[in-house]
Amino acid sequence: MKKLLLLTTGGTIASLEGENGLAPEMKGDELLSYLSGINLHCQIDSKPLMNIDSTNMQPENWAKIAISIYEHYDNYDGFVITHGTDTMAYTSAALSYMLQNSGKPIVITGSQVPISFQQTDAKRNISDAFRFACEEIGGVYVVFDGRVIQGTRAIKVRTKSYDAIESINYPYVAFIYNECIHYNLPIDTSKNKEIKLDTSLCTDVLLIKLYPGMKPEFFDSLKNLCKGIVVESYGSGGIPFDRRNIVEKLNDLTKYGISIVVTTQCLEEGEDMDIYEVGRKVDRNTIIRSRNMNTEAIVPKLMWALGKTGDPQKVKMVMETPVANDLDFNTYKGSEGNGDRQERIPN
C-alpha cells in the first residue's frame, strides 16, 4: 500500500461561507473526512502548510511547499497538494523548477466548488489526485476534471466551469475515468533519481501586455524597478516600431542589463519572431525567446533564473533550455497540442 502526504494550502476546495464570502477554513483531516466510502488503496497523512485563497499565493509560499516536499521526500511514495485554482498554474510551474529530478509524483489539485457543498467537483478531483500520486511516475502534475497535466503546461481558462484547467501547447499526460488511469503519453518510471531542491528566486519581475497606443516612454521608468520583464506581444511575437517605437525601448533595456522575455498574447502555438519584420527587429542575441511556453510558466522560471544569476546571457541560456517539458521548439497546432481536447473522455 502506497503512503502519501497531503499538503493543504487553502483554496476553494477548503472554503466555507463567511460574512465576506467564501474563504478557506478547512484543514487536511476535514477534507479527508468527505472521502469516506471511497476506496483509494493508500495510506494518507496530512500536513497543513497555509490556509489562503490562491489569489494571495506568493513566491515565498512556493518555496515553503517545495521545502516541505523535499523534507518529507524519503518518507512517502507520493504527494498531493490542495490549492486554489486562480494561481494553481503558477505554483505547479514554480514547483517544476524548484523540485527537479523527482522520481515520485507531486500532484496539485483543487476544485471550482468547495468540498462541503452538495454539488462539488472537489471529491472527484482529490480522489483522482490520490490515485495518480500512487503511480510509478516522477515529476510535478496538475490533476483536474479527469485530466493529468504537465506541471509547466497548465492554464486556468475558465472561471466557473469544472473543466477550468487545461493543458496548453502540450498533450495531456493521462485521463482518469472509472477510477482508472489511461496514459496519453509514454512515461518515465525510473526510480534511481535524486531529487534536487533549488528555491532561489528573484521576484523583481514584471509582466506587461502590449496594446495599441502604448507609450514607449513607459519603459524608461522600468530601468530601476525590475531585473526581468515578460512582454506579452501580438501574434507570433511582433513588437511595434512604427510611430510608437517599443522595439527600441526593449533593446535599450537589454543594454541596461534587464532580461526581456517575449511571448504572445495568443493562448496557443507560441511565438515565432522569425516570421515577420515586427519580430525580426528585436535584438534576438539578447531578447529571450519563449517559443511555446505558457506565461504561467515563464514568470516563475524567470524568477528562478534570476535567482541563480544576474548575468543576462546566462539568464537567457537558462530560460531557453527546456525544463520539465516547459517549452518546445516545434509549434503544436490545434488539438494536437492539447492532447485530443475535442475527444476528451466524458465524465
pTM of the model: 0.93
Each residue of 199-249: pLDDT tens digit? 999 999 999 999 999 999 999 999 999 999 999 999 989 999 999 999 999
pLDDT value at residue 217: 95
38 shares its domain with 147: yes
Please provide the distance, in angstroms rounded to a whole number, between the alpha carbons at the two ends of the chain.
Answer: 27
Are 211 and 307 in the same domain?
Answer: yes
Q: What is the pLDDT of residue 339?
A: 41
259 and 114 belong to one structural domain: no
Q: What is the pLDDT of residue 188?
A: 80
Please check whether residues 19 and 117 belong to one and the same domain: yes
pLDDT surpasses 90 at 328: no
Measured distance CA(155)–CA(242) in Å, rounded: 33
Q: Are the C-beta atoms of 35 and 24 separated by less than 8 Å?
A: no
| Residue 212 and residue 109 share a domain | no
Domain membership of residue 253 (yes or no) is yes
Compute the distance between CA of residue 248 and CA of residue 239 in angstroms, rounded to an integer.
10
Query: Between 346 and 198, where is the model more confident?
Result: 198
Q: Are residues 16 and 160 in the same domain?
A: yes
Higher pLDDT, 189 or 253: 253
Does one domain contain both 180 and 221?
no
Domain presence at residue 181 = yes
In a shared domain, residues 128 and 7: yes
Query: What CATH number is given to the structural domain containing 274?
Result: 3.40.50.40
Where is the domain boundary, 143, 166, 197? 197
Domain contains 27:
yes
Is 152 tagged catalytic? Answer: no
How many helices, marked H, and strands, marked E, lie in the chain?
A: 8, 18
Whole-number pLDDT of residue 346: 38
In a domain, 337, yes or no: no
Write phi, then psi, for 173 (nearest 5 degrees): -70, -40
Contacts with 253 (C-beta within 8 Å, 6 or more apart), sequence order: 219, 222, 223, 229, 260
How many domains are there within the chain? 2
Domain boundary among 162, 197, 232: 197
Q: Which domain holds residue 237?
A: 205-319
**pLDDT-based confidence at residue 284 (cuts at 50, 70, 90):** confident
29-38, 43-52, 142-151, range with the lowest pLDDT: 29-38
Tell which of 174, 197, 220 closes a domain: 197
* Catalytic residue selected from 8, 12, 152, 264: 12
Is 176 among the domain residues?
yes
